[in-house]
Copies of this chain bind each other. A is one copy, B any other.
């Protein structure tokens, strides 16, 4: 298992800001993110209030960030962190394939998704899963629903289709996936139901579909799904002025901590979070 002092989860403005300072301060750290950096940022046509870069586009900004990361020798690890477990001495981070151990963790994964699906939390681990690689094998030859909000995660849907007998695929985007055992649905899921385990899903038209499991694949994992027991209010991670959460050694920054959803706010918080993480490790 790979070990690191500080793990930064997210490579939007907050995570990048934390990583730049981590590098300057010679920290032992890893940053996890995805190639697209921040799709929300990429869509920004012009940003007027970025100090020093009047009317820069989100895309140009991402290019500048990437150039800076390259010059400083910072490499983003593109594995997605599915879970963070806290023990007394360290944090355990699980990706689809690997485990990482870190002494401090900075959550910079972006704004929480809208509402959870009704029943999602109740059946987590009881038929509801966020991770195809982790749990796919449990549904060999079974019937599953897959809810996905990010086309770049579609290969996980294909992977599941290779295992399951039948996949009902609910996508938040236009898809052209054609596989014999995949049924693309345009309905919206209202509720996950069952007794001890998932029995099925109820759509917005009131119809019930019996399934053995539900996979929910989101580009951003909500913070309290990522870290069990983490204190949030309205989906926002609760932090103090040092960006410390209620879990020792765990910090959060950027949109994940709430409004204003602004690049500059995220940069500033990322800077504070890494300073706090360094100071936490020094005291330890």
Contact = CB atoms under 8 A, between A and B. Distances in A.
A275 B268 CA distance: 15
A16 interface: yes
Interface in A16-61: 16-17, 20-21, 23-24, 48-54, 56, 61
Interface of A: 13, 16-17, 20-21, 23-24, 48-54, 56, 61, 64-65, 67-68, 71-72, 239-241, 259-260, 262, 264-272, 275
A52 B48 contact: no
Give the 3 A-B CB pairs with smallest separation, nearest first.
A268-B268, A20-B49, A52-B64
Best-buried of A23, A56, A270 by chain B (most CB within 10 Å): A270
Q: What is the copy number of this chain in the assembly?
A: 2
A24 B51 contact: no
B52 A271 contact: no
Contact of A49 (B17, B64, B272): B17
Nearest to A53: B52
Given A264-B267, A272-B260, A61 B52 contact: yes
Given A20-B51, A24-B49, 18 more contacts: A17-B51, A17-B264, A20-B48, A20-B49, A23-B48, A23-B49, A48-B72, A52-B61, A52-B65, A53-B68, A241-B241, A260-B271, A264-B267, A264-B268, A264-B270, A265-B271, A266-B268, A268-B271
B67 A49 contact: no
Contacts of A16: 51
A180 to B, nearest CB: 47
A80 to B, nearest CB: 23
Contacts of A239: 241
A35 to B, nearest CB: 18
A264 B271 contact: yes
A275 B49 CA distance: 12
B271 A49 contact: yes
Contacts of A50: 52
A273 to B, nearest CB: 10
A54 to B, nearest CB: 4
Nearest to A25: B49
A56 B67 CA distance: 14
Contacts of A241: 239-241
Contact of A268 (B67, B71, B269): B269
25 contacts: A17-B51, A17-B264, A20-B48, A20-B51, A51-B64, A51-B65, A51-B267, A52-B52, A52-B53, A52-B56, A54-B68, A54-B71, A239-B241, A241-B241, A259-B275, A260-B271, A260-B272, A260-B275, A264-B268, A264-B270, A264-B271, A267-B268, A268-B268, A268-B269, A268-B272
